[in-house]
């Protein structure tokens, strides 16, 4: 077998202490492990009630994390903290990750227990290897016997962490011999704005975590974890008014066609509601001008290259200087004989009122406004009992709620920006198709 044909081992994942059992099957697996540990520990004295609760919570988190990792990547490992420093009171990531946590992990891998495979790390200060674990063959067999799925595991909201993240500007760094542009995390200010945003995200996350969501098809085969619902709002360039989009939902990285054909909300297929050309409409609102009618990215002379035109316009709005050459994403996608000046001139003629904003770094500010519109939309839909899944400038809702959600999005745009927004709807699966999907879905 050639090197190219060899199977690439999945990357190690950090142990997630928030996973909890939510079905009878998951509770049974955790119970069996606790019973086995109780029979082989050989304790002379019972643990105090408080210590026993910590022990049981640690076992539950480990079993759920190991099972979830096995279902997602059968050969994958979890990186886990075992050092005293990492498990100290100031650094531990969960209340049950005390110094006894390391003892528990090692015990689970002991010959008399054999539920965990453990690769011990080293203590090198730089470039050292972390300790990693995965389910043993006997634990994997029980997971298979119980026919476990991603939906057997939920998350403890108290351990999901901060739903807001503030980042620096991206700077050039060298990583594994490559040049990358990365941003670092910043400390969030302690003020009323952050408190308000945090409460909004906690409300949204609590709402979506309890929603009736399902996947039409095999979630295991498709590697779709419908329990991945914790959203984090990320701000950029060190400002709480730059960026602010929501990330983290299982539905976000999926192809648009997969969302429409496979996601179910309240036993019904979804429609996608998308703000049309929102950044350009915000730009026109900022300069107090009326945008031209029709598709704002369909420009005379460039109509056959709408996607490329969209990339270029958004790059012009996002950059801190006016571009003089094609953005990387568009290079080679337009006729070779075309110069950038030709394309820029066509854009500038069509959108003359907003040309002063080209090279003004307005893009992240427009993203922030867009995120504020989305937060307002989500909270309003929540108050109406309509589940909505956000994707930057778009939401997914059950088909029957499409028109109502569209109206709410347009109202929210008007309230935040002061001008009318345009929302486009995609997805129109009839009731017979929806009923057939529900009938065949093993998660309902």
Residues 128, 171: one domain? no
Same-domain status, 170 and 245: yes
User: What's the confidence (pLDDT) of residue 128?
Assistant: 66
pLDDT score for 333: 87
Q: Is position 384 within any domain?
A: yes
Do 271 and 418 lie in one domain? The reply is: yes
Cβ atoms of 8 and 85 closer than 8 Å: no
Question: Which residues lie below 8 Å from residue 182, measured CB to CB, with a gap of 6+?
Answer: 170, 171, 173, 175
Q: Of 118, 135, 159, which marks where a domain is finished?
A: 159
Show the tokens assigned to 222. 């498709």
**Spatial strand order in the sheet of 164-167:** 185-186, 164-167, 232-235, 243-247
User: What is the number of domains present in the chain?
Assistant: 2
Q: Are 75 and 102 in a shared domain? A: yes
pLDDT value, residue 71: 96
pLDDT tens by residue, 73-125: 999 999 999 999 999 998 999 999 999 999 999 999 999 899 999 999 876 55
Q: How many residues does the chain have?
A: 444
Task: Tell me: do 122 and 84 sit in the same domain.
Answer: yes
Does residue 238 share a domain with residue 376?
Answer: yes
Residue 226 lies in a domain: yes
Does residue 3 form part of some domain?
Answer: no
In the DSSP assignment, the letter for residue 230 is -
Q: How high is the pLDDT of residue 394? A: 96
Query: With contact defined as beta carbons under 8 Å apart, do 116 and 108 qualify?
Result: yes
Alpha-carbon span 204 to 200, nearest angstrom = 6
Contacts of 260 (CB under 8 A, 6+ apart): 269, 270, 271, 272, 426, 427, 429
- Segments in 161-295 forming alpha helices (H): 192-209, 219-222, 256-262, 278-287
Mark whether 128 and 224 lie in a shared domain.
no
Number of Cβ within a 10 Å radius of residue 145: 10
- 194 in any annotated domain: yes
Report if residue 320 sits inside a domain: no
In a domain, 357, yes or no: no
Structural domain ending residue among the three candidates 159, 186, 206: 159
Q: Is residue 243 part of a domain?
A: yes
pLDDT tens for the chain, 444 residues long, are 344 434 567 899 999 999 999 999 999 999 999 999 999 987 878 899 999 999 999 999 999 999 999 999 999 999 999 999 999 998 999 999 999 999 999 999 999 899 999 999 876 555 568 899 999 999 999 999 999 999 899 999 889 889 999 999 988 777 767 777 789 999 999 999 999 999 999 999 999 999 999 999 888 889 999 999 999 999 999 999 999 999 999 999 999 999 999 999 999 999 999 999 999 999 999 999 999 999 999 999 999 999 999 999 999 999 888 888 898 888 888 898 999 999 999 999 999 999 999 999 899 999 999 999 999 999 999 999 999 999 999 999 999 999 999 999 999 999 999 999 999 999 864 444 433 343 333 222
Residue 245 pairs with which residues in a beta bridge? 234
Are 396 and 255 contained in the same domain?
Answer: yes
pLDDT digits (tens, 9 = 90+) for 217-231: 888 889 999 999 999
Task: Kindly state whether residues 142 and 168 are assigned to the same domain.
Answer: no
Question: 128 and 100, same structural domain?
Answer: yes
Containing structural domain, residue 155: 13-159
Q: 130 and 218, same structural domain?
A: no
- Identify each DSSP E strand in 146-288 by its residue range: 153-155, 164-167, 171-175, 178-182, 185-186, 213-215, 232-235, 243-247, 263-265, 268-275
DSSP track, 333-398: SS-TT--HHHHHHHHHHHTGGGGGGTTS--HHHHHHHHHHHHHHHHHHHHHTT--EEE-SSEEEEE
Last residue of a domain, one of 132, 159, 186: 159
pTM of the model: 0.83
- Do 49 and 155 have their domain in common? yes
Is residue 28 a part of any domain in this protein? yes
């Amino acid at each position: 077998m050639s090197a190219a044909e060899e199977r690439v081992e999945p990357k190690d994942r950090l142990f997630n202490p928030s996973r909890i059992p939510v079905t009878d099957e998951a509770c049974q697996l955790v119970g069996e492990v606790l019973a086995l540990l109780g029979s082989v520990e050989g304790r002379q004295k019972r643990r105090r009630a408080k210590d026993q609760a910590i022990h049981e919570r640690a076992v539950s988190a480990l079993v759920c994390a190991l099972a979830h990792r096995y279902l997602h990547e059968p050969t994958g490992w979890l990186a886990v903290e075992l050092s005293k420093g990492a498990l100290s009171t100031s650094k531990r990531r969960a209340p049950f990750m005390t110094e006894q946590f390391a003892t528990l992990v090692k015990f689970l891998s002991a010959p008399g227990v054999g539920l965990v495979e453990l690769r011990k790390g080293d203590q090198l200060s730089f470039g050292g290897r972390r300790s990693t674990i995965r389910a043993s063959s006997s634990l994997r067999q029980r997971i298979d016997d119980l026919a476990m799925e991603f939906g057997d595991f939920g998350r403890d909201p108290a351990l999901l962490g901060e739903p807001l993240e503030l980042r620096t500007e991206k700077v050039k760094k060298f990583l594994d011999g490559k040049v990358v542009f990365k941003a670092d995390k910043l400390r969030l200010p302690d003020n009323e704005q952050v408190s308000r945003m945090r409460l909004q995200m906690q409300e949204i996350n609590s709402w979506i975590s309890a929603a009736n969501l399902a996947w039409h098809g095999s979630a295991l085969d498709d590697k779709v974890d419908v329990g991945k619902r914790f959203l984090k709002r990320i701000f950029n360039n060190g400002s709480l008014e730059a960026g602010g989009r929501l990330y983290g939902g299982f539905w976000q990285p999926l192809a648009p066609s997969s969302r429409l054909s496979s996601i179910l909300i309240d036993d019904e297929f979804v429609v996608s509601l998308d703000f049309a050309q929102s950044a350009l409409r915000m730009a026109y609102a900022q300069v107090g001008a009326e945008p031209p009618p029709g598709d704002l990215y369909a420009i005379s002379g460039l109509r056959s290259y709408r996607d490329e035109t969209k990339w270029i316009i958004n790059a012009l709005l996002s950059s801190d200087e006016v571009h003089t050459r094609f953005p990387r994403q568009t290079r080679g996608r337009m006729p070779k004989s075309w110069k950038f000046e030709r394309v820029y001139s066509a854009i500038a003629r069509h959108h003359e009122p907003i040309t002063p904003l080209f090279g003004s770094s307005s893009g992240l500010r427009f993203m922030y406004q867009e995120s504020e519109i989305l937060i307002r939309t989500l909270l309003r839909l929540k108050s109406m009992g309509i589940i909505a899944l956000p994707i930057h400038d778009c939401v997914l809702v059950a088909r029957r709620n499409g028109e109502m959600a569209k109206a709410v999005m347009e109202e929210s745009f008007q309230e935040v920006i002061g001008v009318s927004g345009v929302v486009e709807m995609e997805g129109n699966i009839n009731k017979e198709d929806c009923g057939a999907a529900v009938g065949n879905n093993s998660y309902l």
